[in-house]
Amino acid sequence: MQSTTYEPLMFPISVKGVVLREGRVLLLKNERQEWELPGGRIEIGETPEECVGREIAEETQCKVTVGPILDTWMYYINAAEKHVFIVTYGCYSQDTVEPVLSHEHKEVGLFTEQEVAGLNMPDGYKRSIANWYRVYSQTPES
């Protein structure tokens, strides 16, 4: 009888934030011409909440308070032929500074809930955005 050894699958983890400002969600356009939520890879010694706050500040110069986890999902990036585990958090905007585009993205935009449906973006992001609109509208901090 042959024994098989278990080899775990390895994939990157990306922590993203849904930031609503005056009823609009903050999105960034990537090199694949898809709109995405700001965020990125978690660093050693960093909590997911610290990661998403840092990444949003780095990518847009916006400050946020990180709220609840909204969703988790696996995304397959066809162009890179890899899976990425995505964790999304709802975030409360802490300033009125206009988002600034970093070198990591092609475009920055603020979109209404209705506009999101027609954007080129993964369904997992759309689901997270819809979840945060639903929760945010019932939150006293909004």
Count of C-beta atoms within a 10 Å radius of residue 126: 14
What is this structure's pTM? 0.87
Q: What are the phi and psi torsion angles at 96 (to 5°)? A: -115, 15
Residue 36: enclosing H or E segment and its boundaries? strand 35-36
* pLDDT of 80 higher than 70: no
What is the distance between the alpha carbons of residues 104 and 63, in angstroms, rounded to a whole number? 18
114 Cα distance to chain centroid: 18
The burial class, CB within 10 Å (0-12 / 13-18 / 19+), for 81 is exposed
Percent of the chain beyond pLDDT 70? 93
Quick one: pLDDT at residue 116? 97
Quick one: pLDDT at residue 11? 86
Quick one: pLDDT at residue 140? 56
Nearest to 124 by CA among 73, 77, 80, 84: 73
Which CATH code of 3.90.79.10, 1.10.10.10, 3.40.50.10470, 3.40.50.720 fits the domain covering 13-136?
A: 3.90.79.10
Q: What is the DSSP letter of 42?
A: P
Query: Which pLDDT band holds residue 141 (cuts at 50, 70, 90)?
Result: low
Quick one: pLDDT at residue 2? 67
What is the distance between the alpha carbons of residues 142 and 140, in angstroms, rounded to a whole number? 5
Q: Looking at residues 30-35, what average pLDDT do you find? A: 92
Q: Looking at residues 117-121, what average pLDDT do you find? A: 95
Q: Looking at residues 4-19, what average pLDDT do you find? A: 88
